[in-house]
Amino acid sequence: MPEPSATSIETSDAADCANEPIRIPGSIQPHGALLVLEPTTLRLLQASTNAVDLLGTPVTPGAAWPHGAPTVDAMLAALTAAAADDVHGTVRSIAGRDGPISIVTSNGPQGLLVELERPTRAESGAFDTLFPSIRSFVDRIGAADDIVALCSVAAAEVRRMTGFNRALVYRFSPEWHGTVIAEDSDGTLPSYLDLRFPASDIPAQARELYRRTRLRLIPDASYTPVPVLPALSPLDGQPLDLSDAALRSVSPVHLEYMRNMGTAASMSISILIDGELWGLISCHHARPLTLGPQLRSSCDFIGQLLAMQIGARERHDQADARLALKNVEAELLARVSRAPSIQSGLGENTEAWLRLAGATGAAMVHDGAVFSAGRCPDVPMLSALADWLRREHGGRLFATEALGSVFAPAGAVADIACGLLAVPISALHPHYLMWFRPELVQTVRWGGQPDAKDRGADGRLHPRHSFAQWTEQVRGQASPWPAAAIDAVDSFRNAIVTFVLKRAEERAQLTEKLESTNRELEAFSYSVSHDLRAPFRHVVGYAQLLREQNAAFDDRSRHYVDSIIEAAIAAGQLVDDLLNFSQLGRAALDITRVDMDKLVLEHRRSLEIDLGARTIDWRVAPLPPAWADAALMRQAIGNLIDNAVKYTRGRTPAVIEISGEQRGHETVYTVRDNGVGFDMAYVGKLFGVFQRLHRVEEFEGTGIGLALVRRIVDRHGGWIAAEGVLNQGAVFRIGVPTNVQEPPR
């Protein structure tokens, strides 16, 4: 069953929560009075209708102050002093007709908000022990072992200071669900420890108010709101924004929520870490309970001390985690940098690769290849995931604890890849480093069924009535990726990208050196081959003359001379082949339309003298024209035909097939024979220089012919492939581009 979230609320319900005017209720709670003054002149702009109860005299917005009224004069003097000191938000006390009155001020765009309250009797005698209590609290939280222990100390201290029946600490998750992680209670109200409450219990705008105003008190959930008049601000004509007012009247839905929970009074203290809402200290009482401003300020101070301690602990823990992972990263990078490639470096250090993110599986998708460690999806899914990441998230880091909810195919492998942390290592291609975590099946105890809401006869949304424990099993979620792990893999990505660029630069430099060396070797080969042609011809010529002019040679001498002639001829042929091979890299291509039918026919005719009495079954199909360098294409096809003739020697009949076809933007030519063939295990050696699969005693040749064909095809931007079966024949195919349009006839 999927975990409920804020987005699972019905659309109309969410709209109710989002649109409820909780900032501008137009009223306050009755345990105090509210005045709105013009900041510089202190002219009264608006007032709650119960202001007379605290001031002891009626006041009218827009009219002059009733000077001579003691409470009014004392209040104005205190406000003037506060304005001179430019201090607001602190509690000041003045003498009222029926006892002291606390004043708290806050500035807003619609005027100076002045909140008046009478201290409670319990508050009057509490200040003598307040400082020792806070000092004791500081000592106790300093000794707490972890965040839960910190929160337990804070809950106990707030409940001791205030007398609430129950005080709990409520921590928000990234999805804004809240879990009670600490609680202190006198047993009057049920325990909520370890229960989870859905994000919809505290809508986004309510959370923003908690962030903006740290403390909120509701002394009586059944109170009657006190109106503020006039309803619209005289300064801007808009409803009065009471976001910063502690007396602000609260949502009727929330009051009903409290009554359904069995609490008559509540107080919430916001726990803010770096300005963001981390959680709440939430207090509840079975009967109405009022706390004065001084005591609430002390509770707020406790909340701030707790927030600072939590923030310090979290930063300390994160720093330790980051340092530990930085050591893992440094170790892994050192090993990868010494490896022949990134893939081999990661593959030889899988434990560190996984530990970098605290993962159970890791993979690298790069240049169409996939490398993995630990428990990962199969190769097709990893490739598809890389394409999806590139398409949906571009060059950004991506982290999720519920991969199946955004990438549907992953739902089938949640047991190994429910959580994904991925970083791109290319700005152009779907190349990624990925880490995986398995599904973590959890049993969650909710404080009541999360989505149990209903609409009454009035059409208004009503909160759930039951807060009894409701249990569900949550699937499709992995444990969250810690911030330290996310930072670590992002840092590792940056280092790997730098490493890849460095390797690419090194390869570019090496390629440049190799190209320079190749050019020098080609020049050397050309020079040597050219210079050796004449000496070998001289050797052949003089040896032939020697044999012809010495008829008295015995058989042994004649055999020696014939061997010299044969060796010189073979050496000369080798020199000619080397010269042709070296010239391929030097000459420019002259691309033109080549009549392949004519070219093959001419080459067959040139072979007739050497074939003698041999009979060959030529099967030549009509050939499409080629767009190529005519001389080089004649040489390439000629070499393939010559090989077919050579290696079918002894076959009766010898069959040689030559065909061609147009395939999209290339033309493919095939030469097939029924000769001696070759073992496909050695196909990789066929196109190398001086590579032979048959002994020279069996078949003559220099071992350069196929290398020459391959180089010709490469120069044209084409390809060559071979297939063979030993003693059953061979097939050679070459493909050349047809990117030049045939001119109209």
pLDDT in tens, 541-577: 666 676 676 666 677 776 767 667 666 565 555 555 5
Percent of the chain's residues with pLDDT above 70: 75
Mean pLDDT, residues 59-82 taken together: 89
Residue 390, Cβ neighbours under 10 Å: how many?
Answer: 18
Mean pLDDT, residues 707-726 taken together: 86
Q: Residue 18: enclosing H or E segment and its boundaries?
A: helix 11-19
| Cα–Cα dist 579/575, whole Å | 6
Name the band, by pLDDT with cuts 50, 70 and 90, for residue 29. Answer: very high
Contact 378, 371 (CB under 8 A): no
Burial label for 437, CB within 10 Å (0-12, 13-18, 19+), is buried
Question: Is the pLDDT higher at 630 or at 624?
Answer: 624
| Cα–Cα dist 244/519, whole Å | 80
Q: Output the pLDDT for position 428.
A: 78
Name the band, by pLDDT with cuts 50, 70 and 90, for residue 6. Answer: very low
For 48, the 3-state DSSP assignment is strand
The DSSP bridge pattern shows strands 654-663 and 616-620 to be parallel
Contact 32, 115 (CB under 8 A): yes
Residue 516 is encoded by which pair of tokens?
A: 């320079």
pLDDT in tens, 98-113: 788 989 898 888 999 9
Give the ranges where 585-673 is alpha helix by DSSP (H): 596-611, 630-647
CA distances from 697 to 57, 694, 701 (A): 128, 8, 10
- The answer to whether the Cα torsion of 561, 567, 568, 570 is positive or negative is positive
What's CA 419's distance to the chain center, in Å? 11
pLDDT value at 129 more than 80: no
pLDDT value at 284 more than 90: yes
Q: Output the pLDDT for position 696.
A: 46
pLDDT value at 125 more than 70: no
pLDDT value at 77 more than 80: yes
| Cα–Cα dist 135/144, whole Å | 15
Phi, psi values for residue 592, rounded to 5°: -150, 175
* Beta-bridge mates of residue 105: 114
pLDDT in tens, 134-173: 778 888 888 888 899 999 999 999 999 899 999 999 999 8
CATH number of 33-117: 3.30.450.20
Mean pLDDT, residues 309-331 taken together: 86
| Cα–Cα dist 436/353, whole Å | 12
Residue 367 is encoded by which pair of tokens?
A: 């240049």
Burial label for 712, CB within 10 Å (0-12, 13-18, 19+), is buried
pLDDT in tens, 181-198: 999 999 999 998 888 888
* Beta-bridge mates of residue 462: 454
Q: Output the pLDDT for position 714.
A: 86
Q: Output the pLDDT for position 140.
A: 86
Name the band, by pLDDT with cuts 50, 70 and 90, for residue 335. Answer: confident
Q: Residue 366: enclosing H or E segment and its boundaries?
A: strand 361-366
Mean pLDDT highest for which of 376-390, 510-524, 569-583? 376-390
Question: Is the pLDDT higher at 91 or at 491?
Answer: 491
Q: Residue 515: enclosing H or E segment and its boundaries?
A: helix 483-549
Closest by CA position to 270, among listed 156, 169, 139: 169
Q: Residue 535: enclosing H or E segment and its boundaries?
A: helix 483-549
pLDDT in tens, 676-700: 888 887 777 777 654 555 554 454 5
Closest by CA position to 642, among listed 598, 699, 585: 699
The distance in angstroms from the start CA to the end CA of the chain is 73
What's CA 6's distance to the chain center, in Å? 24
Contact 619, 657 (CB under 8 A): yes
Yes or no: domain 588-737 corresponds to CATH 3.30.565.10: yes
| Cα–Cα dist 431/367, whole Å | 7
Our CA angle for 24, 26, 29, nearest 5°, is: 105
Question: Is the pLDDT higher at 724 or at 578?
Answer: 724
Mean pLDDT of the chain: 80
Q: Output the pLDDT for position 573.
A: 54
Residue 303 is encoded by which pair of tokens?
A: 């909340």
pLDDT value at 20 more than 70: no
Closest by CA position to 400, among listed 486, 490, 314: 486
Residue 592 is encoded by which pair of tokens?
A: 């033109």
* Beta-bridge mates of residue 444: 472
**Helix/strand/coil percent split, the chain, to 5:** 45, 25, 35
| Cα–Cα dist 331/337, whole Å | 10
Name the band, by pLDDT with cuts 50, 70 and 90, for residue 525. Answer: low
Percent of the chain's residues with pLDDT above 90: 31
Q: Output the pLDDT for position 7.
A: 32
Q: Output the pLDDT for position 13.
A: 43
pLDDT value at 448 more than 50: yes
Question: Is the pLDDT higher at 462 or at 636?
Answer: 636
Mean pLDDT, residues 318-335 taken together: 85
Question: Is the pLDDT higher at 652 or at 26?
Answer: 26
Residues 6+ apart with CB under 8 A from 332: 346, 349, 352, 353, 356, 492
pLDDT value at 223 more than 50: yes
User: Quick one: fold of 1-32+118-341+438-481?
Assistant: Beta-Lactamase (3.30.450)
Q: Output the pLDDT for position 502.
A: 58
pLDDT in tens, 42-57: 999 999 999 999 998 9
Name the band, by pLDDT with cuts 50, 70 and 90, for residue 123. Answer: low
Mean pLDDT, residues 336-355 taken together: 84
